[in-house]
Chain A
Amino acid sequence: MGKIKIDRVTKVFGKNTSQALKLVKQEKSKEQILKETNATVGVYEASLTIEEGEIFVIMGLSGSGKSTLIRLLNRLIQPTSGDIYIDDQNITKLNKKSLQLVRREKMSMVFQNFALFPQRTILQNAEYGLEIRGVPKEERRLKAEKALQNAGLLSYKDQYPDQLSGGMQQRVGLARALANDTEIILMDEAFSALDPLIRKEMQDELLELQANLQKTIVFITHDLNEALRIGDRIAIMKDGKVMQVGTGEEILTNPSNEYVRSFLEDVDRSKVLTAENAMIRPMTIQIDHEGPKVALQRMREDKVSVLLAVDKARKYLGYITANDALELAQSGEKSLHSILRNDMPIVEPSIVIQDILSVISDSPTPVAVVEEGKLRGVLIRGVVLESLASEKNGGVDNE
């Protein structure tokens, strides 16, 4: 039995519910149902089981019912029919009081547009859930401060949300959820309003957090790349129906129907891998401070033969090889500047991999991803080919 079990849940907005349901059974489209009955089908007969401790991503385009589905989980929206079990408790049958209790103790929500209370300080925002539960002042302050500390925002605790950037605001949103220390976290397009760089950062942070906390996270997104990156399992929705559920791998290699396939193709065409998507964290050496011994040590540790050289500001300078470093270390020289090599290809993060495939395969070294002089990441042949292969599998091979 999963942590959350959604059993044939349906939500129809509007008055003419039964009529609309009849039309859905006849496979009529959403537009047609709207025209005939003036009712909108949000979610239709969705059944899902979400396991404890997993990041479950619900993915779909706008209008697919994913935002409705997540709101059914904490009954911000009332289901028309069907049952939702959280820890074996059917929450669709709860009265107001018990529902409030479930919302307070079982789950916290993070919103697309952050939904921070503008009249409250960052700390007061982080405290909100605990305050509502009647946790004593001192205790809730400590918990909220700890959550803010983990988010690296403790120094901002007395500021107001509109003084923070979008990324920081969403960290507060997440801290508010984490301070509440519930087992389930609902994230409604939590990173969609952030710019791509911050979004990737937040995704990494979420994964890191999850490694420590093992929460059950339900994550809504319209971005397949995001879904694949963070989801342990993914459900794809269309027109209120769940099309397919599976790991990213399963969905890519074995799309269950035409829609999922076309969706993946669509992604293939429009959002083909960019250098940014395929790059990995570079192994670097800070050339102004660190010498050959450190370089060799680090290469041994990370099992690489090349380190990228950067300065204090992470400006890309070149690279050094293991052989050179070894010679240098034996000669007793301290500065790495003499063995700095400059023939590594450099690409922009936004460039599409397809366009630089030849560069990657011809280069004897990895390829540096540099933006405005700063090192962002590195492309390793094996990793790039692997990610390309999985995309291809999803889209083309099944045609």
Chain B
Amino acid sequence: MSKILNLATPLPVAEKVEDLMDIVTDTFSAQFRFIQSNGEDTMNLVTSGLTAIPPYVFILIIAVLAFFATGKKFGLAIFSIIGLLFILNQGLWDQLMNTFTLVLFSSLIAIVIGIPLGILMSKSKVIEEILKPILDFMQTMPGFVYLIPAVAFFGIGVVPGVFASVIFALPPTVRFTNLGIRQVPTHLIEAADSYGSTFTQKLVKVELPLSRSTIMAGINQTVLLSLSMVVIASMIGAPGLGREVLSALQRAQIGNGFVAGISLVIFAIIVDRLTQSLNKQKSNGGK
């Protein structure tokens, strides 16, 4: 009887995880604080730099960029101008710049971590076997869950927001880098090897150039995923358009929510098309 009761008692998984988190937080508290304060400062600096640019100049730069990135077509440029003017008109420019910084930092960090991880994964079957389930785990875990350790480590603000976004947005870059390198045809790898290439030479001269478009597709996904974390990260105090959505939600202001939401969509479309066309152009150029 008591044995059955014992089985019915929940295993102390939650407690153990909590203990572990406490240990990590305590052990690395100095490091976390360092990252927190420096990260916050750097990102505030970038945001204030971005907001210092007159919005019209900023819009013009984006439009020109869009024009050339899409192969001298007007579509995206015109869309960018109208969309960004709308956001400006709605008084959401500062929030947009905050979101921009958040996406920029989390994407960059995810790429800087993700590409080397993907390379490692492509080179070793063991690492691939280990990383695959972890990546699956990272992608299926709801984004909200990452907020908890983020807050535990970094408190609230933009840095934990970036932390949560990086974890959430990392997998595509890793996966696509792995895939891209594994897809390089065997005979080209053999050719590189047969001429005596070193590991680095093979990587830089053959594998990365040939998997570039696949890796770029992964980066595009990573950028969009980190954008989708913007709203969620605002729950722990990350500034930006997400916070507008959140506060509209909390106050049941449908109109404001819609405006902030549509602003996010506009931003997402511009970012998506820009990164995609960059990929297309590069892969054409490489041919």
Q: Which residue of A lies closest to B198 (CB)?
A: A100
B287 touches which one: A104, A119, A128 (CB < 8 A)?
A119
Residues of A within 8 A of B196 (CB): 99-105, 129, 132-133
Q: Is A259 an interface residue (CB 8 A)?
A: no
Interface stretch (choices A31-39, A106-114, A260-268): A106-114
Residues of B within 8 A of A116 (CB): 191
Q: Determine if A109 and B194 form an interchain contact, defined as CB atoms under 8 angstroms apart.
A: yes
Closest Cβ of chain A to B192, distance in Å, is 8
- Given A160-B287, A162-B287: A119 and B210 interface contact (C-beta under 8 Å): yes
Q: Determine if A76 and B193 form an interchain contact, defined as CB atoms under 8 angstroms apart.
A: yes
Q: Determine if A115 and B191 form an interchain contact, defined as CB atoms under 8 angstroms apart.
A: yes
Q: Which residue of B lies closest to A131 (CB)?
A: B205
Chain B window 177-207, contacts with chain A (Cβ cutoff 8 Å), 1 for yes, 0 for no: 0000000010110110111111001000110
Q: Determine if B193 and A115 form an interchain contact, defined as CB atoms under 8 angstroms apart.
A: no
Residues of A within 8 A of B198 (CB): 100, 132
Closest Cβ of chain B to A310, distance in Å, is 41
Q: Which residue of B lies closest to A73 (CB)?
A: B194
Q: Is B49 an interface residue (CB 8 A)?
A: no
Closest Cβ of chain B to A52, distance in Å, is 20
Q: Determine if A108 and B194 form an interchain contact, defined as CB atoms under 8 angstroms apart.
A: yes
Q: Is B286 an interface residue (CB 8 A)?
A: yes
Q: Is A74 an interface residue (CB 8 A)?
A: yes
A103 to B191, CA, bound (A): 11
Q: Determine if B194 and A132 form an interchain contact, defined as CB atoms under 8 angstroms apart.
A: no
Q: Is A245 an interface residue (CB 8 A)?
A: no
- Given A113-B187, A117-B188, A118-B210: A103 and B287 interface contact (C-beta under 8 Å): no
Residues of B within 8 A of A101 (CB): 196
Q: Determine if A74 and B187 form an interchain contact, defined as CB atoms under 8 angstroms apart.
A: no
Q: How many A-B residue pairs have CB under 8 A?
A: 65
A67 to B205, CA, bound (A): 26
Q: Determine if B201 and A132 form an interchain contact, defined as CB atoms under 8 angstroms apart.
A: yes
Q: Determine if B206 and A117 form an interchain contact, defined as CB atoms under 8 angstroms apart.
A: yes
A109 to B188, CA, bound (A): 12
Q: Is B209 an interface residue (CB 8 A)?
A: yes
Between A99, A119, A186, the greatest number of chain B beta carbons within 10 A of the residue's beta carbon is seen for: A119
Residues of A within 8 A of B197 (CB): 100, 132
Q: Which residue of A lies closest to B187 (CB)?
A: A115
A101 to B196, CA, bound (A): 7
Q: Is A64 an interface residue (CB 8 A)?
A: no
Q: Is A180 an interface residue (CB 8 A)?
A: yes
Closest Cβ of chain A to B287, distance in Å, is 6
- Chain B interface residue number, banded: 10 to 19
Q: Which residue of B lies closest to A124 (CB)?
A: B205
Chain A window 298-322, contacts with chain B (Cβ cutoff 8 Å), 1 for yes, 0 for no: 0000000000000000000000000
Q: Determine if A119 and B209 form an interchain contact, defined as CB atoms under 8 angstroms apart.
A: yes
Residues of B within 8 A of A113 (CB): 187
Q: Determine if B195 and A128 form an interchain contact, defined as CB atoms under 8 angstroms apart.
A: yes
Q: Determine if A109 and B191 form an interchain contact, defined as CB atoms under 8 angstroms apart.
A: yes
A118 touches which one: B190, B193, B205, B287 (CB < 8 A)?
B287
Residues of A within 8 A of B205 (CB): 117, 128, 131-132
Residues of B within 8 A of A129 (CB): 195-196
- Given A119-B210, A132-B201: A74 and B194 interface contact (C-beta under 8 Å): yes
Q: Which residue of B lies closest to A180 (CB)?
A: B195
Q: Determine if A103 and B193 form an interchain contact, defined as CB atoms under 8 angstroms apart.
A: yes
Q: Determine if A108 and B187 form an interchain contact, defined as CB atoms under 8 angstroms apart.
A: no
Closest Cβ of chain B to A137, distance in Å, is 14
Q: Determine if B190 and A76 form an interchain contact, defined as CB atoms under 8 angstroms apart.
A: yes
Residues of A within 8 A of B193 (CB): 76, 103
- Given A118-B210, A119-B209, A160-B287: A132 and B195 interface contact (C-beta under 8 Å): yes
A330 to B198, CA, bound (A): 72
A132 to B286, CA, bound (A): 20
Q: Determine if B191 and A117 form an interchain contact, defined as CB atoms under 8 angstroms apart.
A: yes
A129 to B191, CA, bound (A): 10
Q: Determine if A111 and B195 form an interchain contact, defined as CB atoms under 8 angstroms apart.
A: no
A103 to B192, CA, bound (A): 10
A303 to B185, CA, bound (A): 53
Between A99, A108, A115, A129, the greatest number of chain B beta carbons within 10 A of the residue's beta carbon is seen for: A115
A100 to B199, CA, bound (A): 10
Residues of B within 8 A of A105 (CB): 196
Between B187, B195, B197, B210, the greatest number of chain A beta carbons within 10 A of the residue's beta carbon is seen for: B195
- Given A113-B187, A118-B287, A132-B201: A108 and B195 interface contact (C-beta under 8 Å): yes
Q: Determine if B194 and A186 form an interchain contact, defined as CB atoms under 8 angstroms apart.
A: yes
Between B188, B196, B286, the greatest number of chain A beta carbons within 10 A of the residue's beta carbon is seen for: B196
Residues of A within 8 A of B194 (CB): 74, 76, 103, 107-109, 186
Could you list 4 further interchain pairs (A-B, Cβ under 8 angstroms) beyond the known A100-B196, A109-B191, A132-B205?
A: A103-B194, A105-B196, A109-B195, A115-B185
Q: Please give me the 7 A-B residue pairs with the lowest Cβ-Cβ distance, nearest first.
A: A104-B196, A103-B196, A115-B191, A109-B194, A115-B187, A129-B195, A100-B196
